[in-house]
Structure formats: structure tokens, C-alpha cells
Amino acid sequence: METRAGWSVPGLLPGYPYAPSWAHGPDGRPMFDSDHVAFLHSWYDRFGAELLYVSERTLILDVGSPPQEPEAVAETAIEQYAYCPDGNDTASWANRWTRFGTWQFCWD
């Protein structure tokens, strides 16, 4: 299968990335491939985030226009934490990743 949009790749590769510790959906359900696609599509539209790498438990994005204003950074850090709560809290996201051009998500 082929796609022109990197944000759609998790929908084409079921289970990649696998997020075993994510249970934020309705009734604590696990993350679906469609959840990955929704997050990535939103970040592509807002920040120009392009998929660089995906493996079983890692996803890396190249972000063309990461947020810089404090309120936007805080809001995006909350989204990043909701997407991948493993290893970072919202302050860590905001201070280490959100403002920069590469976002890395790793699930334990």
C-alpha cells in the first residue's frame, strides 16, 4: 500500500506503533490505529509534523513549525502527554520537546 501522507501510516501498519500503556480512550480502552492517525493528522495540519520513523514502540516526527508561544506550548505539551504518557510529564514535554523540530514518542 502507498500513501502520500505520513500521518496515515499507522492506519496502514496495524499495531505500529504499539502503545501498551495507553488507556485513555472511552472506558479505558487501548489506543487504536485510528487514534494515532488522528493525533498525527492534527499535528501535521497545525505544525507541519511529518513522520520520520515508526517502529514497534517508537514514533519520531519532524516538526516544521513547532509552537513557540507559551500558551500554545502548554496546550501541545498536554496533547503530547495524552498521546504518550511514558517517561515524560507535561513540564518535561514543554521544556524538552514541544518547542523543537523533532518530537519522539516511546511507549514502554
> Smallest Cα–Cα separation from 42: which of 63, 27, 15, 68?
63
Q: What is the pLDDT of residues 13-51, one digit of tens each?
A: 888 898 877 776 667 788 888 999 999 999 999 999 999
3-state secondary structure of 91: helix
State in Å, rounded, how far the first CA of the chain is from the last one: 28
What is this structure's pTM?
0.87
Q: What is the pLDDT of residues 75-108, one digit of tens each?
A: 999 999 888 887 777 888 888 889 999 999 998 8
3-state secondary structure of 24: coil
Look at the block and give the residue holding cell 502548554.
74
